[in-house]
Amino acid sequence: MSDWADAVEDEGAEAGAGEVDDAGGEAGSALYYGSVDEFVREYLRHVYRRRIDGRHRVWAARWWEHDEAIIRLEALWRAWEHLRRDPATGMSVWWRDHADHHMAMLMSPDGPFSAVDPDAKENHTRKGEPLPYQPPPAGLFPDVRQAV
């Protein structure tokens, strides 16, 4: 099994999973990824592989420079953290209701990356390659697991 599949199974049957605490976080459970950047870097860009040509599908290696992208990717991460704990249909729901919806919006030529230079090679991939990625400035996305 891949590392990404292992991430979904880890802690899946933990007691208290799915309950929400007073701060809006998941009670009795730890996040697998500590930030949206870690989620994009370590998981999403590897499992959501698409050919990015800058015209039909767009992506920005510096996704963190686009407010809408940050918000949508944060929503994807938080939904993934919650739904990975459902061993029956959690990942199916995440793909259908979250990933496919938000990633289509993000990759749309009219989406938040529409101003990215369509010829910039750092934003292109061939079919089967991970999505382009450049690290954000240090401290932009602190690890929230350590904030508690």
Token representation of residue 104 = 């289509």
Band (120; pLDDT cuts 50, 70, 90): confident
For the cut 60, the answer to whether the pLDDT of residue 5 exceeds it is: no
Give the pair of three-digit tokens for residue 112.
């938040």
Residue 35 has pLDDT above 80, yes or no: yes
Which tokens is 41 given?
Answer: 């870097």
| Euclidean distance between CA atoms 92 and 21, whole angstroms | 25
Q: Contact at 8 Å (CB) between 122 and 47?
A: no
User: Is 66's pLDDT higher than 90?
Assistant: yes
Burial class (CB in 10 A: 0-12, 13-18, 19+), 91: middle
pLDDT at 19 over 50: no
Q: What is the mean pLDDT of residues 12-30?
A: 46
For the cut 90, the answer to whether the pLDDT of residue 102 exceeds it is yes
Identify the H or E element spanning 138.
Answer: none
**What distance in Å separates the CA atoms of residue 39 and residue 60, rounded to the nearest whole number?**
16
